[in-house]
Structure 1
Amino acid sequence: MSRVVGIDHLVIRVSDYEKSRQFYGRLFEFLGFKISEEYQDATGWSNGNTLFWIGRADDQGQKHKHRTGDVGFHHYAFRLRSRKDVDELEAFLKNDLHATIVDPAGEYYDDYYAVFFLDPDGLKLEGMKYGERTAKAK
């Protein structure tokens, strides 16, 4: 029987490729990713474990914007090393990237600390750390 050993990559379609490439390029540089491959209509970034790609939406896809609540993508979470990293990401998002923060850094579940934000198309992203307090208590 086949077994999944990890998620290889995620690909999202974007309405304004250059705008999104700049947004994700700055975000991923901050998060320690580097461009792994680049084509005329697609760019992929990797940190050695995770691959994240953007690609240009076709003409039909650009006719309707993403709407939270539709079938499909809900959000993508980047697991960070610490709560401090979550706070640093939030500061970068606000001060450097000028991203829309939809839920500020805070505790959303027991020992689950996160910040939620939007990309240029309104796709929801998250930087999170789970279990830091529990690990320190042991």
Structure 2
Amino acid sequence: MVRVVGIDHLVIRVGDYETSKAFYGRLFTFLGFEVLEEYPDAIGWTNRRTRFWIGPADAEGRKHKHRIGNIGFHHYAFELRSRKDVDALQAFLKELGATIVDPAGEYYDDYYAVFFLDPDGLKLEGMKYGERQARAARAKARRNARAGQ
């Protein structure tokens, strides 16, 4: 049976290539990505686990602005190491002047995230899931280890 082992890359088309290139360049530098490759009509970044590419939309594509709720892309989430990293991302986004649509907070049980928009209004997310559960499991394991000694 064929099995997917991960998502290799995402490619998005943008309305103003230079504006988006600057936005994503700063964002990905902050997130620990580096430029993978750059061509006249595309640039990709990687953190050695995933790749994210942008390229300019064509003339017809630039006529139709992105709207959350349309068929297609809803949002892309970057899994971060910790809730502190989510908070640090939010602070960086404020410095960057990005639109934060949902501030850092707990949106589901043990799911902490910040949601923001790129220059074309594409929704992005920095999130951490399960941090409290993992901390509780480590504490339980330490208690069990001490009790077993």
Q: TM-score, normalised by structure 1?
A: 0.98
List runs of 5+ in structure 1 lacking aligned partners: none
1:125 aligns with 2:124: yes
Backbone CA RMSD of aligned residues? 0.5
Match of 2:101 in 1: 102
1:74 aligns with 2:74: yes
Q: Distance in 2 between matches of 1:5 and 1:48?
A: 14
Three-state SS of the structure 2 residue aligned to 1:70 is coil
Match of 2:10 in 1: 10
Q: After superposition, give the CA deviation of every residue in 1:60-114 in whole Å (9 maximum; x if it has no partner).
A: 100110011000000000000000000000000002x110000000000000000
Residue type at the aligned position of 1:122: G
Residue type at the aligned position of 1:38: E
Give, in angstroms, the shift of residue 18 of structure 1. 0.1
Q: Distance in 1 between matches of 2:99 and 2:62?
A: 21
Give, in angstroms, the shift of residue 3 of structure 1. 1.3
- CA radius of gyration, larger in: 2
Give, in angstroms, the shift of residue 5 of structure 1. 1.1
Give, in angstroms, the shift of residue 119 of structure 1. 0.1
Match of 1:27 in 2: 27
Match of 1:48 in 2: 48
Q: Distance in 1 between matches of 2:53 and 2:115?
A: 19
Q: Distance in 1 between matches of 2:108 and 2:76?
A: 17
Q: Distance in 2 between matches of 1:63 and 1:75?
A: 21
Residue type at the aligned position of 2:99: T
Residue type at the aligned position of 1:104: P
Q: Distance in 2 between matches of 1:54 and 1:113?
A: 27
Match of 2:114 in 1: 115
Three-state SS of the structure 2 residue aligned to 1:11 is strand
Q: TM-score, normalised by structure 2?
A: 0.91
Q: Distance in 1 between matches of 2:7 and 2:116?
A: 22
Three-state SS of the structure 2 residue aligned to 1:69 is coil
Q: Distance in 2 between matches of 1:4 and 1:135?
A: 26
What number of residue pairs does the alignment pair up? 137
